[in-house]
Structure 1
């Protein structure tokens, strides 16, 4: 099973050399899309790769469909009810109550109660068919043979392509992105999803690792230095060149200052909506895998090893904060002026940074 961002992040985080696979014999095989996540006290110590806020609540997602939430800034965690045991990668709440989580096997989950329970909206068994039907019936256009072939391949191969990030502008409009140029949009809160693979400047079908809005601009980042930006006029995601050709894992920033970050400590910053990019020197070779912004506007980056770097000048420079509890990190969320909660291979933990 190809695992893309799981490989990119977990290989860094766990120093694995191969994709994650479950060692089960055929007689014991259970479809993860048909198996609810197991409720277990030990699950909180597992691998987590996504973390966000739902209002004042923290919500974390990870391996084997595990979702946990905390109402006391990560001191105590409670396990949510999840209908699948697929590995989950990312989670986003555009409002305190409404949230979406995505992951392997093409899974998309939705919660309308602050992350306590989740329902399935989409999975990889449906993705290919949705693509095929959409591209066959495009009005006023000749069917794109390449897109139709890709859709048919998705149908034939089944539920093995992951979604790797999710972002919603509000409770209705959102995007999911993933491997091999996978991108879908919904305008009805996930009841229906429309494929947008024909609206990306991504001829090599590179993997998308992150999608986020900074101010009025919506960006996608991926492998081989890929950065795309939504053109509101054409509703296409236009390629934006950057000086780096390695993988970008995420986007952060504030209106007027956008940062993309990824392998080997590479961070680039633009103050003109992505037209020009300058390298931000961190003094680290560790890959940057997570980011968050404090209530007072400081930008925080976290490395795969757990280094915490803080910027007080909108990302122009960063200061490394000494840590005595470094550990693999995949996601981060600021909870106070001097504390972040970090999700990674060692579960969920608080890290002070001052």
Structure 2
């Protein structure tokens, strides 16, 4: 099992063991990058790990390349057409029609029709070569970066992208395992590696990326928080009081929150210079977040707890739920509900 499939499952609190022999793998392996996602109505009940809004539409991504969309706030879902069957992790739409999804095997997908059909823009078979060519062209090539690029080529398409963020329909980023970060300024037609522009000497995994107000943040392993310096165009380290993994970042223009393992959430109101812990009263990891149209911040735990803040993240109130279930992503809707994605499919929960 791919090491980074375990990352996705671990975040959901799911333990999986798959016995196999080399003979079985050799006989049955089908490259997910060469196999379109299977169309199946039952797939809507499978594992989903990413959610986004495309205007009034909701779009969910998950295992085996499955992408579903809903035009009624998550009551009914239709399946999109996807050219790969790689597990997908995250999705984002900077406009109602244009969206990007990322996942395992270094795959980056694009849709220009609100998630109904998708095309591949990048995958792990190209990542290493793009890195190698880019860093070979530098005035003073960095031997370590060249070695990393060659390793990517030699090891093949096994490194995932774990999040995506676009400022608009042209400029965006994808981030992932081992310091992977690429930028595009032409809507994904070409990609530029930025591994030389991150304060991440340990090549820690990047788990989340979001813009909060005018600041663009990346969070990851071992308390890693980076913020884009607009002048140098470098992602610089931002110290926080916690050394455990952060899974995501959220907030409002006046406050940024980073969240992760064991219910740890930290809040800053000065662009990341200082942080205070937000007490949730939970030991369960926080794995998802969303912000409502009126600015309320919603956090969702690994176990499925839903917590709501109406004061820019100073305090949170837990919303009682009849049934808890593992959660990997959340998206507020316009109908007074939040859709939660996880190992049990897609659930619509009221939060009013």
TM-score by length of 2: 0.97
Q: Which residue of 1 aligns with 2:10?
A: 11
| SS state at 1:309 partner | strand
Measure the CA separation in 1 of the matches of 2:290 and 2:319: 15
Question: Residue by residue, what CA displacement relative to the aligned partner does 1:83-125 show, whole Å, maximum 9, x if unpaired?
Answer: 0000000000000000000000000000000000000000000
In the superposition, the TM-score normalised over structure 1's length comes to 0.96
Partner residue of 2:144? 146
**CA distance in 2: counterparts of 1:346 and 1:117, whole angstroms:** 24
Take 1:317 and 1:31, find their aligned partners in 2: how far apart are those partners? 47
Q: Find the counterpart in structure 1 of residue 56 from structure 2.
A: 56
5 Å-filtered alignment, 1:110-259, equals: 110-138=110-138, 141-259=139-257
CA shift for structure 1 position 14: 4.0
The alpha-carbon distance between structure 1 residues 48 and 97, as it changes in their structure 2 partners (threshold 3 A), is same
Aligned-partner Cα distance in 2 for 1:313–1:217: 20
- Alpha carbons of 1:20 and 1:209: their partners in 2 closer, same or farther (altered >3 Å)? farther
Shift in Å, 1:21: 9.5
* Alignment check: 8 A CA contact 2:11 2:328 kept: no
> How far apart are the structure 1 equivalents of 2:18 and 2:180?
19
What is the CA-CA distance between 1:316 and the residue it aligns to? Answer: 0.7
User: Residue by residue, what CA displacement relative to the aligned partner does 1:186-216 show, whole Å, maximum 9, x if unpaired?
Assistant: 0000000000000000000000000100011
CA contact (8 A) 1:2 1:19 kept: no
Could you say what secondary structure the match of 2:50 adopts? strand
Indicate the larger mover: 8-17 or 200-209. 8-17
Please list the CA deviations of residues 19-63 of structure 1 after superposition, one character each: whole Å capped at 9, or x if unmatched: 999995311211100000000111001000000000000000000
1:95-106 pair list within 5 angstroms: 95-106=95-106
- Supply the distance in 2 between the matched residues of 1:271 and 1:29 (Cα, whole angstroms): 50
Contact 2:210 2:249 (8 Å CA) reproduced = yes
Determine the C-alpha separation between the residues in 2 that align with 1:114 and 1:172.
Answer: 16
Corresponding residue for residue 328 of structure 2: 330
What's the secondary structure of 1:147's corresponding residue? helix
Going from structure 1 to structure 2, the CA distance change for 1:187 and 1:16 (only over 3 Å counts) comes to: same
- Structure 2: gaps (5+ residues): none
Structure 2 residue aligned with 1:349: 347
Pairing 1:304–2:302 present: yes
Residue among 265, 282, 285 paired with 1:284:
282
Moved over 2 A (4+): 1-4, 6-9, 17-25
Q: Give runs of aligned pairs for residues 262-281 of structure 1, distance below 5 A.
A: 262-281=260-279
Kindly state the Cα deviation for residue 345 of structure 1 after the two structures are TM-superposed: 0.3
Task: Determine if contact 2:106/2:161 at 8 Å carries over to the other structure.
Answer: yes
Q: Is the 8 A contact 2:73 2:335 kept in 1?
A: no
Cα distance in structure 2, aligned partners of 1:317 and 1:174? 32
Partner of 1:80: 80
Question: Are residues 20 and 266 of structure 1, via their aligned partners in 2, closer, same or farther at CA, if it must alter by over 3 Å?
Answer: farther
